[in-house]
Structure 1
Amino acid sequence: MSTVQEKFNNYSKFIKFIYKYWNSDVFRAASENARNIEAETDSNGETDDYHGPQELVEDLKKMGPTYVKLGQLLSTRPDLLPPNYLQALETLQDDVEKIPYSTVQEIVEEETGQRISKAFESFDTEPLASASIGQVHQATLRSGKMVAVKIQRPGIRKKFLEDLDTLKEMTDFAVKHNDAAKKYAVDEILDEFRFILLNELDYVKEAENLRVLANNLQNFRKIFVPQPVDGYSTSKILTMEFVKGQKITSVSPLSRTENDYSTLVDELVEAYMKQIIIDGFAHADPHPGNIHLTQDGRIALMDLGMVAKFGTEMRDDILKLIIAISKYNGVETANALLQMSEYGKETDVQKFQKEINRLVLEAENKSAGKLKTAPLLIQMNRVAAEHGIKLAVELNIFGKILMQLDQIVAVLAPEYDLQKSIEENVEKMMQKKMLQDLKPENFLSQLIETKKLAEKLPERLNTITERLANNEFEIKIDAIDEKRLTDGFQKVANRISIGLVIAALIIGAALLMRVPTTFVILGYPGLAMIFFLAAALFGIWLILKMILNDEELKSNKRR
């Protein structure tokens, strides 16, 4: 539990931040749905109140690790922020102090249950990297195996939870009193952020993520996923294989000249398409800092604290979307987006479809090689937000992954056609998915349902036939008003009956005309004339009744 002073500090820090940026591009982008917010800044990206996106990044760093992580999450929401902010937030890394080695030693010994000198042959006192959640040290096991040990910062979980509680109270208030906050469901964004962050704080889950991803990508020889070391990993420390190599961002132009990395990029793109479309389990943060080039020429995927999971239907929808975009089919693209979205009755779906179709046609008219799926997805996301359509979170994550892959490709193989590679891989993935769907185990649930139907069918048929025999069978329809329906049938039946009576009277009168009688009216047989007059009166009454009822029905429809 946080103290009153801590809560006050959290609230005041948050309120100062909101006050500073309330009239800035950050909030106007969401509240006004401005498409060209960035055009309102000057050539240096400056506004009247502050120095643009970069100052926002610096302020988030000052507010602490929770807000740094929140900024990183917001970099995946093109529906909320203009492009210049997204680019700034993508590079957001926290500047934090190193954890003292004495504290590191204490945490490792507490978690492993033995002295650090006994658990490891060597343990570097200087960290390889230091971030908001944890710090990484190089070490050597007693077996001689080199490992990387990630240690969670002491008290970081408590700090995150306090900040999250403050944000929760603020977002709940905002949703109740602000239309923009309600429209963009900031409370749901926070819930998603909380879920992601708490998972990232659990190193046991990260270790499991490493195992799952390595198993899924075992057929990719040029992709390496470092594996956790059993017995040396807990919820607060994670020991894994050491990656000998360098960050992708450190690859020099000379190295690109001497080596052809295009085949390496081919495998990387295929690996990510498989993760998203086939496995439904993907490395969700492949920014250049998390992708390393090993000494033996492989690509290592680092930091599995953040993963994305795509359900079966979502994978199918993403596959349809990519195919529609690659064919420049605006109608199919819009339909695919609507299929994975939420929207109300007031949404102008036709207008949304027209705008998406226009975007796709504009992309088609660009010169060859200019189309990029990720920027197009960002534009579509903005159009959806303007029309009150909430696209699936998974689509934002997919767009972010593609954007980050584009950055990696730009470093390793600047001339590489990522769009063409995505299209080719989609065809492969579609074939694999079809084969996967045809596997016997995928029909197991259908077989179980069929078995249940076969078991229950004789009993149900017997019940139905018995009720039919006893005249007890009833059909209830909730979709219509039964009383109104039966009343309508009754009126029709009455009109038909009256019509038959009128016809009978006319026919009877016609037959009586030939029968001689002393009772005459106007020189005609009297009884025949009575029948004719009765038929005429009934006919006039029926016509008037029908006209009046039809007018009443039309007036009810207008209401």
Structure 2
Amino acid sequence: MSLLPENLERYQKFLSFMLKYWNSDLLNETTSHAMEEETARNFSDYEQTPEELVEDLKKMGPTYVKLGQLLSTRPDLLPDRYLQALASLQDDLPPIPYEEVEEIVEHEIGTKISKAFNSFDEEPLASASIGQVHKAELRSGKTVAVKVQRPGIRKKFLDDLNTLEEVAALAVKHTQVGKQYGFKDVLSELKRIMLQELDYLREANNLINLGTNLKEYRRLIVPQPIPDYTTSKVLTMEYVKGTKITSVNPLKKTETDYTPLVDELVEAYLKQIVADGFVHADPHPGNIHLLENDKIALIDLGMVAKFSRKMQEHLLRLLLALSKNDGEEIADILLDMSERQLDASEKEFRRQISIMVEDSRNTTAKDMQTGKLLIQMNRSAAKNGIHLPVDVNILGKILLNMDQIIAFLAPEYDLREAVKNYMKKLMQNKMVKELAPEELFSVLLESKNLIGHLPERVNKITENLANNDFKIVIDAIDEKRFTDGFQKVANRITLGLIIAAMIIGAAMLMSVPSAFMIFGYPGLAIIFFLLAAMGGIYLSYTILFRDE
């Protein structure tokens, strides 16, 4: 680790943070009991509250805010309440001076602001870690939001990450905790996420893809980018006027039934997860805005999750099992998705899952249980030597944020019943799709190929049976390794017999007079003794240190 003058401030900031938390109850509990249930300890017993941790990360800077958001998907590292606080972690930094904003925009779009826009508000609508948003009007009269990346933010992120990577490398090298919790893997994932968020062209593509996927939902709006005014550091998109969804006026909440809106929001996210495999992965209240016409806008698509086709099927089955409160089926699905250590305890894992599911039965949105339940299951899996894929953590974080939004808009909403209804609808659509002419034609072609090759294959099987050439190959053991083991045993026994014979022969030669003497003893006998000793030492060495 090189302590250059320009790095001292970063190291000082990091060390100040670590000095505060190093000997705290929170860190001690995390490192020793992070994967245990939180029944043995009360939330208020920790010196640092979740809110204090969130504020400290904000003070550390944007890199640490993003790190906190990433840690919210690691139930093996932190207690539930801290995970919930970190999942909703949002940054709010001082705005960039307008002169710098003007310079960045003009450099990126290649023309003066006065030529590109009828108006461009100097005061930002919002200011976050990576950039800030300004309201503007295009020459066409269209109102837009222009997101401008902070100057030098990429270098700042990478410098902070380098500091963290150096510290993580030392932790992994010198501490068991560093190895156990994979600090380097956490930072690699953080680096990947942050580099994606720093590319506004990628975010523009995400907006287009999500808008296309959700076009059937009339109550949901995904602001679309304006390509001619979008670069890697400037993102111009449609302007939507709304408020953070958790800032809705309480009076309006009592006067308006938001259940149909919540239904559509839930269905849209389920579609993203199990049908599209392309998900808005950061749906915290700051990124979900309620518009004046009682529609919802999904904004800030810097962070998206992509699920493979196979993972979509796993998650579909998992959500369906959750909606039925079927603990046994949930455990089966999670085990199908997981990797297991040699000492994994499946029986205990199944027992814990059944208890969790039973305890959460008949809960409503105001209890905010679904996301929390998945996080608890992940912790139980880790505790029992079962490693679930990161996709389950991502799903848990998405549902944790969705729980918060749904609980605010419709406290009595039954999320599991909504999941069950959507799954029925999805399965019906899949069956209809599979009955489409093109799908039936594909099945007919496969059947034709099978029938066409069937007589030839039956002839080959019967011919081999008649000629006694039919063989069944069973790949049960490694025959070569097995026979090599026997050969090694035989070689060792033979060498041991030779050494024993040499020792007996040397002892008999001791009594035979000889003119050839070594150390006052018959020379031939001494040579046999030495050869026997070297053979014995070699045999002992290979048995103790080289045998597998």
**TM-score, structure 1 normalization:** 0.77
Distance 2:392 2:434 in 1: 22
2:208 is aligned with what amino acid?
R
Structure 1 partner of 2:65: 68
Match of 1:383 in 2: 380
CA contact (8 A) 2:10 2:160 kept: yes
Higher deviation after alignment, 106-115 or 173-182: 173-182
Q: Which residue of 2 aligns with 1:32?
A: 33
- Does residue 130 of the first structure (1) align with residue 127 of the second (2)? yes
Deviation string, structure 1 residues 162-218 (Cα, Å, up to 9, x no partner): 122222233233334433333332322222221111111100010000000010011
Letter of the aligned partner of 1:138 in structure 2?
K
1:20 has 2:25 as partner: no
Taking a change above 3 Å as real, the CA distance of residues 346 and 437 of structure 1, as seen in their structure-2 partners, is farther
**Structure 2 residue 177 is matched with structure 1 residue 180:** yes
Q: 1:225 to 1:459 in 2, by over 3 A?
A: same
Q: Secondary structure at the match of 1:425?
A: helix
CA distance in 2, matches of 1:19, 1:459: 76
Q: Say if 2:86 is the partner of 1:89.
A: yes
> 1:127: Cα distance to partner?
0.4
Report the counterpart of residue 105 of structure 1 in structure 2.
102
CA distance in 2, matches of 1:234, 1:288: 27
- Measure the CA separation in 2 of the matches of 1:71 and 1:485: 52
Cα offsets for 1:241-276 (capped at 9, x unmatched): 000222212211221233221111111111111111
Assess, with a 3 A threshold, how the Cα gap between structure 1 residues 36 and 350 changes in structure 2: closer, same or farther.
closer
Partners of 2:241 and 2:117 lie apart in 1 by 19
- Distance apart, 1:109 and its partner CA: 0.3
Is the 2:161–2:191 contact (alpha carbons within 8 Å) kept by the matching residues of 1? yes
| 1:153–1:464 CA distance, 2 compared to 1 (3 A) | farther
User: How far off is 1:94 after superposition?
Assistant: 2.3
- Provide the rounded CA distance (Å) in 1 between the counterparts of 2:449 and 2:183: 44
**1:526-559: CA deviations, max 9, x gaps?**
xxxxxxxxxxxxxxxxxxxxxxxxxxxxxxxxxx
Where does structure 1 lack aligned partners over 5 or more consecutive residues?
A: 487-559
Give the drift of 1:430: 3.0
Cα distance in structure 1, aligned partners of 2:433 and 2:420: 20
Deviations 1:457-481 (A, max 9, x none): 9999999999999999998765435
1:489 matched residue in structure 2: none
Matches of 2:352 and 2:481, distance apart in 1: 43
Query: Which residue does 2:214 correspond to in 1?
Result: 217
User: Distance between the aligned counterparts of 1:201 and 1:446, measured in 2?
Assistant: 46
Aligned to 2:154: 157
Question: Using a 3 Å threshold, how does the CA distance of structure 1 residues 34 and 217 change in structure 2: closer, same or farther?
Answer: closer
Between the aligned partners of 1:343 and 1:128, the Cα distance in structure 2 is: 48
CA 1:375 to 1:464, structure 2 compared with 1: closer, same or farther past 3 Å?
A: same
| 1:423 equivalent among 411, 420, 426 | 420
Return the alpha-carbon distance in structure 1 between the equivalents of residues 437 and 183 of structure 2: 43
Deviation at residue 39 of structure 1 after TM alignment: 6.1
Where do 5+ consecutive residues of structure 2 fail to align?
A: 484-548
Give the aligned partner of residue 492 of structure 2. none
Counterpart residue identity of residue 119, structure 1: A
What SS does the corresponding residue of 1:282 show, helix, strand or coil? strand
Q: Please give the secondary structure, in 2, of the residue aligned with 1:231.
A: helix
Q: Name the residue aligned to 1:492.
A: none
Conserved in 2, the CA contact under 8 Å of 1:21 and 1:27? no
Q: 2:237 aligns with which of 235, 240, 243?
A: 240
1:408 is matched with which residue?
A: 405
Q: Structure 1 residue 326: deviation in Å?
A: 2.5
Whole-angstrom CA distance in 2 between matches of 1:446 and 1:169? 56
Mapped contact 1:77–1:396 kept (Cα < 8 A): yes
Residue pair 2:207, 2:224 contacting (<8 A) in 1 also: yes
How much does 1:449 deviate? 10
Provide the rounded CA distance (Å) in 2 between the counterparts of 1:381 and 1:483: 41
Match of 2:393 in 1: 396
Equivalent residue for 2:477, pick from 480, 484, 503: 480
Q: CA deviation at 1:331?
A: 1.8
Corresponding position of 1:10? 10
Which stretch shifts more, 299-308 or 473-482? 473-482
**What is the aligned length?**
481
Q: Which amino acid aligns with 1:359?
A: M
Give the superposition deviation at 1:37: 5.2
Distance, in Å, in 2 between the alignment partners of 1:455 and 1:176 is 62
The residue type equivalent to 2:166 in the other structure is E
Partner SS state of residue 238, structure 1? strand
Larger Rg: 1
When residues 279 and 30 of structure 1 are mapped into structure 2, their CA distance, relative to the original with a 3 A threshold, is farther
What is the one-letter code of the residue matched to 2:314?
Answer: D
Mapped to 1, the partners of 2:278 and 2:165 lie a distance apart of 28
In the aligned structure 2, how far is the partner of 1:29 from the partner of 1:233?
Answer: 43
Distance 1:377 1:344 in 2: 21
CA contact (8 A) 1:125 1:137 kept: yes
Task: Name the aligned partner's letter for residue 31 of structure 1.
Answer: S
2:225 pairs with 1:228: yes
The separation in 1 between residues aligned to 2:72 and 2:360, in whole angstroms, is 24
Work out whether 1:190 is the aligned partner of 2:187.
yes
Distance in 1 of aligned mates of 2:442 and 2:32: 46
**1:368 CA drift (Å):** 7.9
Q: Show the 5 A alignment for 1:148-547.
A: 148-364=145-361, 372-436=369-433, 479-480=476-477, 482=479
- Partner of 1:510 in structure 2? none
Contact 1:261 1:413 in 2 (8 A): yes
Distance 2:437 2:22 in 1: 57
Q: Distance in 1 between matches of 2:6 and 2:93?
A: 20
Decide whether the 8 Å contact of 1:334 with 1:356 is kept in 2: yes
Give, in whole Å, the separation in 1 of the partners of 2:274 and 2:19.
43
Which stretch of structure 1 is more off in the superposition, 185-194 or 174-183?
Answer: 174-183
**Per-residue deviation at 1:225?**
0.5
Change (3 A) 1:481 1:213: closer
Cα distance in 2 for partners of 1:445, 1:419 equals 36
1:229/1:354 CA distance change after superposition, 3 Å: same
Q: Is the 8 A contact 1:29 1:35 kept in 2?
A: no
2:18 maps to a residue whose letter is I
CA contact (8 A) 2:143 2:239 kept: yes
Query: Which has the higher mean CA deviation after the structures are superposed, 11-20 or 147-156?
Result: 11-20
CA gap of 1:424–1:477, structure 2 versus 1, over 3 A, is: closer
Identity of aligned residues (%): 57
2: CA distance between counterparts of 1:29 and 1:22?
Answer: 11
> Is the CA contact (8 Å cut-off) linking 2:368 and 2:400 kept in structure 1?
no
Please, what TM-score do these two structures have when normalized by structure 2?
Answer: 0.78
Q: Aligned-pair distance for 1:453?
A: 10
- Structure 1 residues 408 and 77, CA, compared in 2 at 3 Å: closer, same or farther? same
**Structure 1 residue 226: deviation in Å?**
0.5
1:484 and 1:141, CA in 2 relative to 1: closer, same or farther beyond 3 A?
closer
Counterpart-to-counterpart distance in 2, 1:291 and 1:83: 23
